[in-house]
Amino acid sequence: MASRRSNQRGSASPKREPASSSSRERRPEASPIYATKNDLPESTRREVIELLNARLADCIDLESQAKQAHWNVKGPSFIALHELFDDIHEAVDGYADLIAERLVQLGGIAEGTVGVVAQRTTLVDYPLVLSKGSEHVAALSDALAEFGRVVRLGIEEMNDLKDADSADVLTEISRGIDKWLWFVEAHQQGA
């Protein structure tokens, strides 16, 4: 696991470091790619699959962070936040499915186990000791904003690779994440 650092909320939440070479050595050089009649060149499909698996790890991490917030939120806005965080979890689960299905359509293997997600995610660890609604709002809005940022970078990468369909999948996810970020941030605004 990545080393711990404090974030601006003062709790132990590290920025994840890229997987070390020793963790990469435990994985095969490259996952197999299955034959398909999809007309994207195999080299493009390989790159897209790798990029989508990276976003899949972030997405699954975000999904678990929303559930962590859902389970542990307390305070006067409990029911509103409890339900909002569960709605976000459900939506992000759908986004993970979109990403996984797209990379499998391209002949790849969706790599979404807990171990792979822990190695690959670029999101900051969700603080485990939060309870106040405002703390969860701050932590989850940070995670949503970061995921939105890397998804938008992914759209650019897919456009560079001339894979409009994968770019479209990520665009749909980006729109959804922006909506959820708006819903969460509304709990910080106007107070």
Is 30 contained in some domain?
no
50: domain range? Answer: 36-185
Residue 155's pLDDT is: 98
Residue 26's pLDDT is: 46
Is 1 contained in some domain?
no
CA 189 – CA 191 distance, rounded (Å): 6
What pTM does this model have? Answer: 0.85
Residue 31's pLDDT is: 80
- Pick the closest to residue 175 from 117, 97, 91, 111 (CA basis): 91
Is 96 contained in some domain?
yes
pLDDT tens digits, one per residue of 3-36: 323 333 334 444 444 444 344 344 445 688 999 9
Residue 141's pLDDT is: 98
Is 159 contained in some domain?
yes
Query: Which parts of the chain have pLDDT scores under 50?
Result: 1-28
